[in-house]
Amino acid sequence: MMTKEQYIESLRKLNLKVYFMGELIENPVDHPMIRPSMNSVAMTYELAEKDEYKDLMTATSNLTGKSVNRFCHLHQSAEDLVNKVKMQRLLGQKTAACFQRCVGMDAFNAIFSTTYEMDKQLGTEYHKRFTDYMKFVQDNDLTVDGAMTDPKGDRSLSPSKQEDPDLYLHITKVREDGIVVRGAKAHQTGAVNSHEHLIMPTVALKEDDKDYAVSFAVPSDAEGVIMIYGRQSCDTRKLEKDADMDLGNAQFGGHEALVIFEDVFVPNERVFMCKEYEFAGMMVERFAGYHRQSYGGCKVGVGDVLIGAAALAADYNGVPKANHIKDKLIEMMHLNETLYACGIACSAEGEKMPAGNYQINLLLANVCKQNITRFPYEIARLAEDIAGGIMVTMPSEQDLHSKDVGHYVRKYLKGAKNVATENRMRVLRLIENITLGTAAVGYRTESMHGAGSPQAQRIMIARQGDLESKKKMAKEIARVDESQNQ
């Protein structure tokens, strides 16, 4: 496994093509806008080196028998699934941000089981290819960007009916030695901090859309791969001189990117689906299930930090004993632990797949994510309520340190006695960061749209909820005699 330092140096060796605000970034690793998000990924390597976290952060590979980072692991038991959620909560607590390796881990497990069933039915060799790829990933402890979401264009039209065929990533040419693809993947978490991109279809497909049924892996610096870094609220604060307090979280962050595939060649050994459209829906559904489980860990960990910050804000405002403050903090904890309970439940109910790895309970995973689309918004609202309006109106850290007006800031933003004004401001900025600023991409807004929109989960809940069996139970208890029906 790599150390934190080895991970950082490995990124320096990549020849990435990354654009931000219209300009090519020469050195993404040390760019002030990107570095905090890279620090979050680095934490997944750092904790794996610590003895107290090894049970959560590492696992024994079923492919090689070696110890691997859990983010590169194929789940071998329900306990593995539970430990995944616990690991994600831990990392959320350590970074208060998105640590970006979850999407790749979830893609590994979805593609592993899907390719196994593809080969069994079709006689293809995708599973062997993917198993070899997984050994490569594990042996090198790579960070892999799992990429599913296409731009989609006109949502009322299927991929093949779009005016511009590139609005869904697709195969443009099948060669004897591989395939050529064109298109893009949007909202790609941690793309710039990843060694590889692992691609999946984004929707279930029909025969007319078979060119869009494609799964493959390419290095992040492959010819034709271009990344356009996504904007975040308050992001340019990171570019300010000596930026610190106003960032809220100066150490860690997350990022998303639009990843372009401009006629990218993929050799056969890295192709895991090539026009087998009938299996696209299976891969999408399984990945979505794993990733919806993930939110029961990562968002809960960030929620822990936000609850702690809200409690500190109450202390620093001088109102920790107010009954309504206590009640709001209790509600925040109740909602956060409910999310965690869903993540643990869908994991504990996991089952072994024909390929040998374990899959979560899909119904409970979708229930988990449906709650994630709601509860973090209420947790954030309560944190903002406790913090007070000063969270978004207070002067800058430059004003705090100004020779001319700094004494006014320290005097008039003073809260509880024996609490430094700067410490009060730091906690308020942290709340602002998680609820409204750059961390919102990894907490508030991502809770709504990450791993699929709320309606996507409701569709799956309707499909997996088995309403007919519930009707049958009711009929038996009520002793309904359907022969009497007209």
DSSP state of 201: -
Residues 11-25 as b or e (16 or more Cβ within 10 Å = b): beebebbbebeeeeb
DSSP state of 357: S
Question: For residues 20 and 229, is the Cβ–Cβ distance under 8 A?
Answer: yes
E strand spans, 286-348 = none
Closest to 70 in 3D by CA, of 78, 83, 79? 83
Residue 351 is a catalytic residue = no
φ, ψ dihedrals at 125, nearest 5°: -125, 25
Closest to 149 in 3D by CA, of 98, 123, 186? 186
Q: Of residues 45, 295, 358, 443, which has the active-site annotation? A: 295
Residue 66 to residue 87: CA distance in whole angstroms? 19
Residue 131 is a catalytic residue = no
- For 62, counting Cβ atoms within 10 Å of its Cβ (0-12 exposed, 13-18 middle, 19+ buried), the class is middle
Q: What sign for the dihedral angle of Cα 407, 314, 88, 229?
A: negative
Closest to 75 in 3D by CA, of 298, 350, 299, 451? 350
Give SS3 for 448: helix
Residue 189 is a catalytic residue = yes
Q: Of residues 7, 31, 95, 98, which has the active-site annotation? A: 98
Q: Of residues 143, 189, 373, 438, which has the active-site annotation? A: 189
Residue length of the chain = 486
Question: For residues 109 and 116, is the Cβ–Cβ distance under 8 A?
Answer: no
Residue 289 to residue 364: CA distance in whole angstroms? 9
Q: Output the DSSP codes for 274-328.
A: ES-GGGHHHHHHHHHHHHHHHHHHHHHHHHHHHHHHHHHHHHHHT-TT-HHHHHH
Residue 146 to residue 104: CA distance in whole angstroms? 4
CA atoms within 13 A on the CB side of 167: 15
Q: Of residues 298, 342, 346, 368, which has the active-site annotation? A: 298
Q: What sign for the dihedral angle of Cα 433, 437, 442, 448?
A: positive
Q: Of residues 44, 197, 291, 340, which has the active-site annotation? A: 291
Neighbours of 388 (CB within 10 A): 17
Q: Of residues 196, 256, 276, 397, which has the active-site annotation? A: 256
Question: For residues 181 and 224, is the Cβ–Cβ distance under 8 A?
Answer: no
Residue 446 is a catalytic residue = yes
Tokens in use for 241? Answer: 């001189």
Q: Which residues are catalytic?
A: 98, 102, 189, 256, 291, 295, 298, 446
